[in-house]
Structure 1
Amino acid sequence: MLNHGVSAPLADDDYLELAARAARARGAVLTATTVAASGHPGGSFSSMEMYTLLYGTARVRATEPRWEDRDRIVISHGHTSPGAYTALALAGFFPLAEVEAHFRQAGSVFEGHVERSAPGIEWSSGNLGQGLAAGVGLALGARLTGGEWHTFVAMSDGEQQKGQVGEARRLAVKERLGALTAVVDWNHIQISGRTDDVMPVPVAEDWRADGWAVYECDGHDLTLDA
Structure 2
Amino acid sequence: MWNTYYQKTETVDEVIREIEFGRGQSQLFDLGLGGQEERKYNSPDELEVDTLDFLRALKPYEVRLQPYFMTDDDYRNENYFYIEDYVERIFVGAKSSGGDNTFNHNSPISNDIESYLFTFPEIEERFVYAIRIHLHGDIRGNYSPYMIFSLSCEEYFDAVYEASRKVEFEVRGFSGKITISQMEEEIRVEYEDEERKLDFYMCAESVNEVVERVEEELKELVGGEVDGKADE
- TM-score calculated relative to the size of structure 2: 0.28
In our comparison, the structure showing a higher alpha carbon Rg is: 2
Which structure is richer in relative contact order (CA contacts within 8 A, separation 6 or more)?
Answer: 1
Of Structure 1 and Structure 2, the greater strand share is in 2
The alignment's TM-score, normalised by the length of structure 1, stands at 0.28
